[in-house]
Amino acid sequence: VSVRGTGDQDAHLQTLGPGAFFGEMSLLAGDHRAATVRAAEDCELVVIGKPALAAVFERQPGFVQEISDIVASRQAELATRLAQLPDAAASQKEPLLTRVKRYFGMD
């Protein structure tokens, strides 16, 4: 996982392993991607779209809080790493849970 730093240089943020996920902010809140993920070797990916996740949230409404907590923790960790990079991405002012609920029409 990397982000574009100063002078068009990619800054490595982290390496994902088996079972890891990415793209959660686009899926959960409709955000534009903030990082680039490249596979170092052949891998299998599972793509989960908004309709599939909406069905899960409908059957298990408490899961939206659970997944938002996990992702918020992950964002905090990445924000710490990003803060060390020049031209770091700005943090979101609105709480993640609020954005997720709005995106899935759960207000």
Instruction: Render pLDDT for 67-101 as a digit per residue (tens, 0 to 9).
Output: 888 888 878 877 777 777 665 444 445 677 887 88
Q: Give residue 6's pLDDT band: very low, low, confident or very high (50, 70, 90).
A: low
Give me 29's structure tokens: 């809140």
For the chain, where are the alpha helices, taking DSSP H only?
A: 24-29, 50-59, 62-83, 96-103
Mean pLDDT within 15-19 = 90
H-run or E-run covering 10: strand 10-12
pTM of the model: 0.64
Beta-bridged to residue 12, according to DSSP, are: 2
Instruction: Return the higher-pLDDT residue of 52 and 80.
Output: 52
Question: If we measure between CA atoms, which residue out of 26, 1, 12 comes closest to residue 85?
Answer: 12
Neighbour count for residue 71 (Cβ, 10 Å): 19
Mean pLDDT across the chain, nearest whole number?
A: 82
The predicted pLDDT at position 90 comes to 44
